[in-house]
Copies of this chain bind each other. A is one copy, B any other.
Amino acid sequence: MPDSARPIVFVSDFGLGNEWVGICHSVLAGISPRSPIVDLTHLIRPLEVQSGALLLADSMPYIAEDAVILGVVDPNVGKDREVAIASTSGRYLVGPDNGLLSLAWEAAGGADTAVEIASPDVVRPPRAESFRAPDTLCPPAAHLAAGMPIEQLGPTVDPSTLSALTVAEPEIGDGQIRGEVIDFNRFGNIQLNIREDDLVRAGLDGAPFLTIKATAASAEARRGSTYADFKAGEYGVIFDERGRMEIVRGDPESALAGLGLQPGHLVWISRSRVP
């Protein structure tokens, strides 16, 4: 047994309410017992591939260069081929070929090599179509972590044929940005596709207050740096650890509810007339 093994970073929409995550851990640890297993999160909203893809890509700066990333958000349950990808930066990615991994490998320098997972030495027929991962995805991830060359997992695939997501870029004007909601959390904080650079380019980075317009409502939001900066009910804007503009609202109010927003909705950001 080698002295150490690559870490496995696991992200899914399985939730925590049953034994699914545990069964996957059991299979992973059985094949690569020396690999630390990192549960990035298992609370991706069920079947929301883009939300998982963004969270994973935004987390890449915190993920080791030698990690094997196992991603399972699979609305088509086994109808997409299952793939393993070697990124230019050295990380491996394993999951369904539905775009879930695509923003992460872009963030990791691109997809160098890809294979379709098919070797009968690695996978076994799934016990149930409703839960394929322990039979078809956990074994290849763990074998990669334990040192198996990616070519042994199955036939090579042209990386250009892999499914890739496109995330809408914000539209930057002079003093205005049109952005899109990409995610939200249980506190009702809203993540946008807007980064700090975009604010600079629109000339809005010095504004102490920003006007947030949605279709259903609008708000004046104060710039701050963390959640504790805002009073109960007050709207605020921070840049979070994912590098995204986040619209927050002082506990116990929800910015999501207050502005009537959902992922995919547009928002318009401009300088506020407030003081």
User: Which A residues have a C-beta under 8 Å from some C-beta of B?
Assistant: 1, 3-4, 7, 9, 11, 15-19, 21-23, 25-27, 29-30, 33-34, 36-41, 43, 47, 55, 59, 61-64, 67, 75-78, 126-131, 134, 185-186, 225-228, 238-243, 246
Known pairs A40-B26, A228-B77; A130 contacts B238 (CB<8 A): yes
A47 to B227, CA, bound (A): 11
- Please pick, from B23, B29, B34, the residue contacting A59 in the complex, using a CB distance under 8 A: B23
Q: Which of A33, A77, A78 has the most CB of B within 10 A?
A: A33
26 contacts between A and B (CB under 8 A): A1-B4, A7-B30, A17-B186, A18-B43, A19-B59, A22-B38, A22-B39, A22-B40, A23-B241, A26-B40, A27-B62, A29-B36, A29-B64, A30-B64, A61-B127, A62-B134, A77-B226, A77-B227, A126-B241, A127-B241, A128-B240, A129-B225, A130-B226, A130-B227, A130-B240, A130-B246
Known pairs A75-B228, A241-B134; A40 contacts B55 (CB<8 A): no
A39 to B27, CA, bound (A): 12
A241/B128 in contact, CB under 8 A: yes
B40/A17 in contact, CB under 8 A: no
Known pairs A76-B228, A241-B128; A38 contacts B29 (CB<8 A): yes
User: What residues of chain B lie closer than 8 Å to A128, measured between beta carbons?
Assistant: 225-226, 238-243
User: What residues of chain B lie closer than 8 Å to A62, measured between beta carbons?
Assistant: 23, 26-27, 134
A134 to B38, CA, bound (A): 14
User: What residues of chain B lie closer than 8 Å to A40, measured between beta carbons?
Assistant: 19, 22-23, 26
User: What residues of chain B lie closer than 8 Å to A4, measured between beta carbons?
Assistant: 1, 33-34
Known pairs A4-B1, A19-B55, A55-B19; A226 contacts B129 (CB<8 A): yes
User: What residues of chain B lie closer than 8 Å to A185, measured between beta carbons?
Assistant: 17-18
